[in-house]
Structure 1
Amino acid sequence: MKGIFTLTASAMVLMAAQASAQDLRVAVYTSSEPHLKLLNQLADGFKASHPGVNVRFETIPVADYTQKLSFQVAGGKAPDVAWMMEDAAPAFIEANILMDLTPVLQAFPNYDLADFTDPAMALWRKGDQVYGVPFSTSPFLIYYNKAMFDKAGLEDPKQLAEKGEWNMTKFQEVSKQLVAANPGKYAFEFKDGEGYASRMTHALLPPIRAYGGDLWENGQCGLESPGAVKAVQQIHDMVFKDKTIVPPGTQGDYFSGDSAMTVNQISRASKMKEAGFDWGVAPLPTGPNGEEGPVIGQAGFVVFEASPNKELAAELVAQMTDKEGVAALAQFFPPARRSVLTSDAFLNKNQYLSPEMMGFVAAGIEKGRVVAAHERVPQILAAMKPRVDALWRPDADVAKSLQGVCAAIQPLL
């Protein structure tokens, strides 16, 4: 009886494993219909070569993404594959919970791992092991509402950039004029209308980089450097004195025409068909020393070591990031593959951005630096948040607030 029970239980375990092997869960932080449509098309190609396999894309809101993904991993409910943000990648790699994809990628037909640029792969490698494949190496750009600039009688950011006049001083100057000419509107909002609670580093980093600084570098906090203080003071003044940036507690929406400018990446261009106004993109404004290197956001596909289907999941990642897969993804997500980055299809056939706009993207990938990352990013962000909250008050002492942020995070760096 015991033997029969054991055999039956084993058979049930085997059947469950076989069933789960046919179902791959992929965690993503996009709910964009065009993005999901493309991802499902890529999954259909994989399913065609793997009969019986199902691929499900599960959206986790971006503001909670890394935290909820961490909870799923800790609770033994990790997805098979996940998009991984650049700032969180080192923590997941150091925790030894990601699969080394190298053997699968090297064995995949015509994959050509060497086609990926070394700077783009640096975050995802540890020695000779590859723990993720970047599918998006995307420079931050200024999106602007041309109609609002025209109403104010102003040259737009692209025109100013072409003249070499698109800098942080001009950014503040035109922001005041935009608000004066467009009552009830803001001149600028942070990435995705966030930046105070979530995406605080994305709000701070572009102006700080423009002034030659960084959030942290080589184990040292950079937020109390003179350049960082000057950059954040300028943004603070624009929020509370000029009242040109969407303030804390107010939800802006550039895509609905609430703001004249925002920072984002080319993946958001898919939303512009619904915007109802003339628009364009331009490089980020430069600082006093000229261009200090565009800010690049990066995301990669990873496979969790605990996945019962990790070999199959790794094959899915390989197929979605081979040359054909990256070429398809490139309409929304700038590629790290040299062959695709310089291709006519990438530069001249994007359905949302003109070849000139795509030139800004390509230049940003070539010159840019990835968003600051660290293996302790979750702890760093948790330590930063209350100190950054204190910064976003009208009477805040910016320099003292930034010193407080550095005091909180330096032991973690």
Structure 2
Amino acid sequence: MRRTLAAISVCALLGSLTACGGDEPEAGGPVTLRMTTWSANPAHVELFNSIAAEYSKTKPDVSVTFEALPLENYTTTVTTQIAGGNAPDIAWILEGAAPDFVASGALTPLDDSIENTADLAPAATALWKKDGKLMGYPFSTSPFGVFVNNDLLKQAGQTLPAGADWTWANAVAAASATAAKTGKQGLVIRDFDYKEWSNLATVFRGWGADAWTADGKTCGFDQQPMVDAMTFLHKAIFTDKALPAPGVAADFFAGESAMTIAQISRASLLKEAKFGWTLVPLPAGPSGEYSVIGQGGLGVMKKGKNAAAAAEFVKFFTSPDNSTKLAQFFPPPRQSQLNADTLAKANPLLKPEQLQDVVIDGIATGVVKPSHTGSAEISQAVRSALDPMWKPDADIPGVLRGVCTAIQPLLAK
């Protein structure tokens, strides 16, 4: 598996783009653009399609289709398409893969395709630039928060800790007690499922832990902050029963857990919720308050068959007007729109104070989830090396040393 991912990465992203399959010149006549996304959420799809339909009113010869791919294998699928000569015209790029795409030469610069680039927050665009040029547009810059099922907590006789009491220790205690008394689950780290390890950054950053150093060259899994964070998480899973055990599924949005860590794009799933809920920032950890951001960027593929037409659509898709619409699910990188009033208009399910506390303040202080060149191979290596962690008698420091043994050669490339 690692060999396959490495071959795809080298061929499709890091070197011989021409050798991986040629693109065809754009021809006259109708154009159908294909954009890959990882979300099949009906509300997201409806919004994307409405923007595409509006675009077609002024560009009747251009239509846009959105191809939703499974999140777990999303980046691998996109890079396989590129390597096979079937590159999408536009791709939603996850933050973990951004360094590969940005550095590879696979993307078309977007500086001339984005309106008012001066309005883009420097912190939001940092991951998406190469030699001063904007290679991807971070249309979603979304901090993680905790959605809470108030009814389940009340049923269990629990009160949501607030203010200085909103810490990881107290959050896990409330989740554990609620799970024990209701028969539901406690806290779910959305989209982790013991596979997507990078989502654990929403926990371990509370201990000041990092997957690797800022320069990307040295593994951080064997350092004491990570050991402490993973020891806490392991106890929460196997002793406190505050998180679902491996192999146990629970959907907060269906009322199956007391809490979940997720982004505001998930709030639409609560439109018809039959329980009371709230949204709060991530709990404070031993290193204090913190925020973790997930980003999604739009990239126009050089190897797509309609690169020029794709860039024109991206200009429309990311316009200030459409950015306001997208803010319903995807917090924009536009500084003029990062205020509670603007976001509240697009997010009627969320209160202005929730948007301020979780989104606006989170963007101001947060760090982006782990990302690195060679992300596919590194992520697979981390996932495999962490597998022994997910059993009751795990040697936690030993497992984490094993992670570093597995990835240090990859980080040093």
Q: Provide the TM-score with structure 1 as the length reference.
A: 0.90
Give 5+ residue unaligned stretches, structure 2: 1-22
Corresponding residue number in structure 2 for 1:77:
86
Relative to structure 1, the CA distance from residue 391 to residue 15 in structure 2 (aligned partners, 3 Å threshold; closer, same or farther) is closer
Matched, 1:37 2:46: yes
After the TM superposition, which residues 166-315 of structure 1 pair with which residues of structure 2 at under 5 Å, given as runs?
166-182=166-182, 184-192=183-191, 194-197=192-195, 199-202=196-199, 204-217=200-213, 218=215, 219-291=217-289, 293-315=290-312
Matched, 1:87 2:85: no
Question: Out of 105, 108, 111, which is 1:99 matched to?
Answer: 108
Matched, 1:53 2:62: yes
2: CA distance between counterparts of 1:14 and 1:296? 37
Larger Cα Rg: Structure 1 or Structure 2? 1
Instruction: Kindly provide the CA deviation profile for residues 52-85 of structure 1, in whole angstroms up to 9, marking residues without a partner as x.
Output: 1111111101111111111111111111001100
Instruction: Kindly provide the CA deviation profile for residues 304-341 of structure 1, in whole angstroms up to 9, marking residues without a partner as x.
Output: 00112111101111111121111110011011100111
1: CA distance between counterparts of 2:99 and 2:79? 13
Relative to structure 1, the CA distance from residue 131 to residue 44 in structure 2 (aligned partners, 3 Å threshold; closer, same or farther) is same
1:261 CA drift (Å):
0.7
Corresponding residue number in structure 2 for 1:392:
390
1: CA distance between counterparts of 2:318 and 2:52? 12
Matched, 1:145 2:149: yes
1:207 CA drift (Å):
1.8
Instruction: Kindly provide the CA deviation profile for residues 17-75 of structure 1, in whole angstroms up to 9, marking residues without a partner as x.
Output: 335x6100011111111111111111122212212111111110111111111111111
Corresponding residue number in structure 2 for 1:17:
27
Give 5+ residue unaligned stretches, structure 1: 1-12, 106-110
Q: Provide the TM-score with structure 2 as the length reference.
A: 0.90
2: CA distance between counterparts of 1:356 and 1:168? 21
Instruction: Kindly provide the CA deviation profile for residues 121-146 of structure 1, in whole angstroms up to 9, marking residues without a partner as x.
Output: 00110112111001100001001111
1:369 CA drift (Å):
0.8
- Partner amino acid for 2:361? A
What is the percentage of aligned positions where both structures have the same residue? 38
> Is the contact between residue 103 and residue 130 of structure 2 (CA under 8 Å) also seen in structure 1?
no
2: CA distance between counterparts of 1:175 and 1:332? 27
SS in 1 for 2:208: coil
1: CA distance between counterparts of 2:270 and 2:383? 31
After the TM superposition, which residues 398-413 of structure 1 pair with which residues of structure 2 at under 5 Å, given as runs?
398-413=396-411
Q: Which moved more, 1:231-240 or 1:131-140?
A: 231-240
1: CA distance between counterparts of 2:251 and 2:343? 28
2: CA distance between counterparts of 1:14 and 1:97? 15
- Partner amino acid for 1:245? L
1:278 CA drift (Å):
0.9
Corresponding residue number in structure 2 for 1:323:
320
Matched, 1:154 2:158: yes
Corresponding residue number in structure 2 for 1:10:
none
> Is the contact between residue 143 and residue 263 of structure 1 (CA under 8 Å) also seen in structure 2?
yes
1:343 CA drift (Å):
6.2
1:181 CA drift (Å):
2.1
Corresponding residue number in structure 1 for 2:13:
none
1: CA distance between counterparts of 2:174 and 2:275? 19
Matched, 1:337 2:341: no
Relative to structure 1, the CA distance from residue 26 to residue 349 in structure 2 (aligned partners, 3 Å threshold; closer, same or farther) is closer
Question: Out of 122, 127, 131, which is 2:126 matched to?
Answer: 122
Relative to structure 1, the CA distance from residue 14 to residue 201 in structure 2 (aligned partners, 3 Å threshold; closer, same or farther) is closer
2: CA distance between counterparts of 1:380 and 1:265? 24
2: CA distance between counterparts of 1:119 and 1:366? 8
